[in-house]
Amino acid sequence: MIDVEDLISLVRNYNPRTDADLIRRAYAYGREMHAGQLRRSGEEYFTHPVSVAAILTEQRLDDATIITALLHDTIEDTKSTFSEVERLFGHEVAELVDGVTKLTNLQLSSSETKQAENFRKLFMAMSKDLRVILVKLADRLHNMRTIKSLPHDKQVRKSHETMDIFAPLAGRMGMQWMREELEDLAFRVLNPEARNSIMRRFITLQRESGDVIQKITQDIRKELEREGIEADVFGRAKKPYSIWRKMEEKELGFSRLSDIYGFRVITETEGDCYRVLGAIHQRWRAVPGRFKDYISQPKSNGYRSIQTTVSGRDGKRVEVQIRTRQMHEVAEAGVAAHWSYRDGVRAENPFAVDPAKWIASLTERFENAEDHDEFLEHVKLEMYSDQVFCFTPKGDVVKLPRGATPLDYAYSIHTRIGDSCVGAKVDGIRVPLWTRLKNGQSVEIITAEGQRPQATWIDIVVTGRAKAAIRKSLREEDRERYIKLGRELARVAFEHVGKRSTDKALRTAARSFGLHGAAELLARLGSAELRAQDVVEALYPELATSGGDEIDASRAVVGLSPDETFARAPCCQPVPGERIVGITWRGRGVVVHAIDCPVLEKFEDQPDRWVDLHWHSGKHPAVHSVGLYLTIRNDAGVLGRICTLIGEQKANISDMEFLDKKPDFYRLLIQVDLRDVEHLHTVMTALEAESDVAEIERYRDPARAE
């Protein structure tokens, strides 16, 4: 483990004015809080936060971020609290640690609807302070570097999550080195055979042709010396995953794959960048379509470079990036360059992006997403896509994701232009609307009055903005028909529970779904985007679920033999609606666990004791006790209001235990009797919305396992 003085030395290398005493106190506090905790590898747990802090020193980040890294697991995994961290290390650090804790609790690889909601929370955390994400990325990087100690199924799950979310996010933030390492570490788990194959081919290639990187580096240096240009030249082989992705995209074997080497030329001035480009193109033949000038047209995360691919020594294609030293700093650190220090002061890099402006540009297009699918689509398109730059007839630049079509271009100009589009010209030539645009093309949109979007356009466009606009237009076109149908569906559903679908009832239901009025609600009913049953349940949950007899609680589980009994596991307290599995116990029947209960790992080598179970479908009685951890404000009447609120949700409090009493808050464990997982969600949502509730989480305790 890195010693505290060594960590301080790493910080002092770029920030001699660092508050070394504060870092020492954070180091000591973190080590004390994590005392006795071990990682899966058997190492002392505190080695992890220290390693995360060390990773962040490589980006020359401020003291608050380094201290947050040292403490980032304390609130979640130890007896430490927000108020204690705030008292000891200040409000800024406490807020950052709390932000990282909340991100850690997001299950980003869960179902689509929940994933969309968690992405909203992720971007909300980013908008508060981007350093939260920087700590989380460094946390994930160290976990991936040490992933071998985890069980294989967890390695696979973490690697998928890394490949799907964290690596693209690092790339979107301009931290390309981190994206490449995260991808390669995940690739090592998800497809080890493919990675090993590529590594073997590299070794064979190097044996056959010698050190190609050194030879080409020397060739470039000679050309620059001949032109009198001072610059540093670096070369490297691309990461195995990057090569594998190109092989998959281009459907090529390794032997036919080109540009597996990348070279970087770092100059002093912007003018030198273009002189280097001229020298390289004069010496080697440029590959058509592989030139990008991100100096004159920077990426939104601040990335600036000239990128070109040429046929180098022995006809091998090589990619060359050309940029100044300041551009290089931003290219390496991305948005994090905003917090970088040099010689004890915040580095003044003219190319570093203001994080507030960057996150605003990233999120503005998400705000109009009308449902979870649209939001998730917007996020993933924004995070994953590279950009192409096209020109309007007047010469203005329009940025679009790779794969965009003239329709995407039209909607990026204005929704009205997109809706009325009937054709397009690219570089003066009429092209189909599904044509994929390329860098540098000039696009002209042809419109016609009375034209309306077609349903087939959804499959043509790739941008979330265009898809949302087309869907909205299609909805409006059939709006009257849908409203009429929706009104009839609502009438029947309300009459079924003895109620009337009045305008006031429909307006109230619309508000609960976040819709603008009764007409919008009826339109969605008619278009089958909402179910009438869901509308009734939103207003009258008890009436909507009262049909039919309740299921006998003693026979609530399907999959047992007639003479078998069952009990819910106290460690995970599964409820109807959750996926479950049973473990047999001699003389005691079957103990039912939630499928994700960590206690199940103990029985992995005893498959004969596992029983495949599921809950009976139908209405369950509210007898399934679930523990809820609550942190509430210590004030007159607060506890009474919490109990009343739980009762209003038709849930009964069966037990209550005060765990921690402070002058400003209580922390307590409440046992609540519930019907099913939907009932649990309703109760937790109602409590989370209460202003006097600071935190709420479901109680689970592996130590209480059978």
In tens, the pLDDT along 35-76 reads 989 888 888 999 999 999 999 998 888 899 999 999 999 988
Q: What does 593-622 look like in DSSP terms, one character per residue?
A: EETT-GGGGGGTT-GGGEEE-EEPSSPPPS
Place of tokens 């100009």: 413
Give the tokens for residue 370: 């009308």
Name the DSSP class of 550. P
Where in the sequence of the chain do the CATH 1.10.3210.10 domains occur? 4-190
CATH architecture of 4-190: Orthogonal Bundle (1.10)
Q: What is the largest CA-CA distance in the chain?
A: 90
Q: 547 versus 30: which is more confidently predicted? A: 30
**How high is the pLDDT of residue 574?**
93
Q: What tens digit of pLDDT does each residue of 397-451 get?
A: 787 877 889 999 999 889 899 999 999 999 889 999 999 988 778 899 999 988 8
* Positions marked catalytic: 76-77
**How high is the pLDDT of residue 171?**
79
**How high is the pLDDT of residue 306?**
92
Q: 206 versus 694: which is more confidently predicted? A: 694
Q: What tens digit of pLDDT does each residue of 563-590 get?
A: 888 999 999 999 998 889 999 988 778 9
Q: What tens digit of pLDDT does each residue of 594-612 get?
A: 988 889 888 888 888 898 8
Q: What does 104-164 look like in DSSP terms, one character per residue?
A: HT--TTS-HHHHHHHHHHHHHHHHH-THHHHHHHHHHHHHHHTGGGS-HHHHHHHHHHIII
Q: What tens digit of pLDDT does each residue of 87-140 get?
A: 999 999 998 888 888 777 655 554 444 455 555 556 666 666 778 888 999 999
Is 3.30.70.260 the CATH classification of the domain at 551-706? yes
Q: Which amino acid is at 186?
A: A
**How high is the pLDDT of residue 377?**
53
**103 near 122, Cβ under 8 Å?**
yes
**395 near 420, Cβ under 8 Å?**
no
Report the topology of domain 360-476: Ubiquitin-like (UB roll) (3.10.20)
3-state helix, strand, coil in the chain (%, to 5): 50, 15, 30
Which helix (H) or strand (E) segment is 540 a member of? none
Give the tokens for residue 89: 């290390």
Give the tokens for residue 360: 């605003």
The residue count of the chain comes to 706
Where in the sequence of the chain do the CATH 3.30.70.260 domains occur? 551-706
**How high is the pLDDT of residue 118?**
53
Is 2.70.70.10 the CATH classification of the domain at 202-346? no
Q: Does position 231 have pLDDT exceeding 80, yes or no? A: yes
**154 near 387, Cβ under 8 Å?**
no
